[in-house]
Amino acid sequence: MPKVTYPLSLKVSLWLAANLLLLAILGAGFFITQGGVGWSALVAGPSGDRVQALFNVIAGEAAAAAPGPARDAVLARFGAAYGAQFSLHGPGELALAGHRAALPPALRERLELRGPPRPFPGGRPRDRGERTEGGEPGARPGAGDPADARLALRPRLEGEGPFRGEGAPFPAAELRPFRFISRTQDPPAYWLGLRVNFTPADRERPGRPPFAILLARLDTLPGLLHLLNLQSWLLGAGAVLALSILFWLPLVRGITRSLRDLTAATGHIAEGRLDTRVDTRRRDELGHLGESVNRMAARLEAQQHGQKRFLGDVAHELCSPLARLQLATGILADQAPAGLRDTVGDVREEVQQISTLVNELLAFTKAGLQPRTVTLAPVAVEPLAREVAAREAPGHPVGFAFPPDLRVAADADLLRRALANLVRNAARYGGPGTPVTLSGATAAGRVTLAVEDEGPGVPAADLDRLGEPFFRPELARTREGGGVGLGLAIVRASVAACGGEVRFANRAPRGFRAELILAAA
């Protein structure tokens, strides 16, 4: 099972996200310790104090207005300004001003409203036309029973209810804050309720405590956040997040870009393109690593160049002695007695093998030495491929699949030599009469030339070593079946001199595929 790889940019991004998440958790923990968990936590602490001040202003203006339409107008004006529907509620079942819609049962339970809603002061019944307990619309409960009236108006003396406190006026500082946020499904809305100071100038109910509950109904969460003045905090948090990402982004992109360039450069060096160099303008560890890679590539290039020059010089020096030896063995084969002709024939065959090796060494060094001096020109692919196939694979069915007028930027002689070696190998290892296919395709300004056969392929462990000088897979280690191990090395060197690359792969279910990737012309 292949290993799953994770890009460094992903790891750094996840690390940044974890850092921001930790900050968010710490911030949430701070707010939870201040106001607990739930919607009501939004009105705990400083944000709740700001809303308390606003609601006290609204309640103060409502208290200064005359009961009835004047108070409704005050709440409607603030409701239009903040996108909410305000209503003011007194202890027991007393509705003082504002929106007349019925409150959901869960909200009435939160406000300790046990019975049906009572009418607004001044004898105006609620719009819903509901009757109060034991009487006509608009009648005050307990009118016939003073004890019941006192019971309805008496607030709780203990606990955290909205109307906790004595019935007589007392300083507002003695009131414990009562604030909540509730979300209901029927109707779908957010409800914000706070206890506020409410002492009307006319004191129409002398026995009523000097405070009430001001409710705000909001249909959307953004409206609630706007009323709580939390949008600026959210925008600030978003700005901090965006600035953090923008602050980290240049660092992350710089590191990942340098590592990507280093990875690409080392991959090219591993493929034999030793003239590859890395940008070393960075003045950190990655810059030092790039300098080390450049020094390594330069030394490898110098050593390879020296080895190829040495091989070329040796091969060149061997050409003359081998030519004389071939001539001498030919004369000896003609003049040898019948009993020695087989022996002389073996000697001639060995000399021929040595001559083949020397010729391939010369071709290999010619392809690999001074590749930067090669002049690239547009080369028509299909005519060259047909010429090579006719010469290297006679008797084999050869198929061609090239786009019309396909051209590559290459040296014609080097490309011809590379294709010739690949076609010769395909015909040799595919077996007599097996088809050989030459094809081409263009993508993103690059041309891929492929040579395919239907032979046994190459062991998977040997694929990465194909193209190394003198390397031969086990199935090619015979004089009849294989060469000297320089054919694919010549292919790789020839294509590299043209600025391209070579890839080898097995086909399924059988066969071998070699690809030459060059620039389109």
At 202 the pLDDT is: 59
Are both 380 and 291 inside the same structural domain?
Answer: no
Pairing mode, strands 211-218 and 188-197: antiparallel
Query: Structural domain of residue 397, as residue ranges?
Result: 371-519
Q: Do residues 423 and 485 make contact, with C-beta atoms less than 8 angstroms apart?
A: no
Q: Residue 86 carries which side chain, given as an amino acid letter?
A: F
- CA pair distance 500, 521, nearest whole angstrom: 13
Q: Is residue 348 part of a domain?
A: yes
pLDDT tier for residue 388 given thresholds of 50, 70 and 90 = very high
Locus of tokens 């088809």: 435
* Tally of structural domains, the chain: 2
Which residue bears the tokens 């080392």? 266
pLDDT at 112 over 80: no
Specify the range with the lowest mean pLDDT, choosing from 137-151, 167-181, 355-369, 506-520. 137-151
- pLDDT score recorded for residue 242: 83
Pairwise pLDDT comparison (264 vs 245), residue with the higher score: 264
Phi, psi of 185 (to 5 degrees): -95, -30
* Residue 6 resides in a domain: no
Residue 418 lies in a domain: yes
In angstroms, the Cα distances linking 11 to 33, 138, 243, 253, 483 are 33, 69, 19, 12, 49
Do 315 and 444 belong together in one domain?
A: no
pLDDT tier for residue 94 given thresholds of 50, 70 and 90: low
Same domain, 506 and 414: yes
Residue 93 in domain = no
Same domain, 379 and 442: yes
Do 347 and 359 share a domain, yes or no? yes
Quote the Cα angle for 46-51-53, to 5°: 95
Beta strand spans in 186-340 (E): 188-197, 211-218
C-alpha to C-alpha distances, 452 to 18, 147, 257, 282, nearest whole angstrom: 50, 106, 37, 44
Tokens of 126: 């609620």
Q: Position of tokens 């004389």?
A: 324
pTM reported for the whole predicted model: 0.47
Compute, in degrees rounded to 10, the torsion defined by CA atoms 100, 105, 109, 110. -70
The confidence score (pLDDT) of residue 130 equals 38
Tell me: do 419 and 375 sit in the same domain. Answer: yes
111 domain residue, yes or no: no
Residue 339 lies in a domain: yes
**ω into 187 cis (within 30 of 0):** yes
70 occurs within a structural domain: no
In terms of domains, do 391 and 489 share one? yes
Q: What is the DSSP string of 437-499?
A: EEEEEEETTEEEEEEEE-S----GGGGGGTTSTT---GGG-STTT---S-HHHHHHHHHHHTT
pLDDT in tens, 33-82: 654 556 677 777 777 888 899 999 999 999 888 888 999 999 999 999 99
Q: Tens digits of per-residue pLDDT, 297-331?
A: 999 888 877 877 777 778 778 888 888 888 888 88
Domain containing residue 480: CATH number: 3.30.565.10
pLDDT score of 270: 83
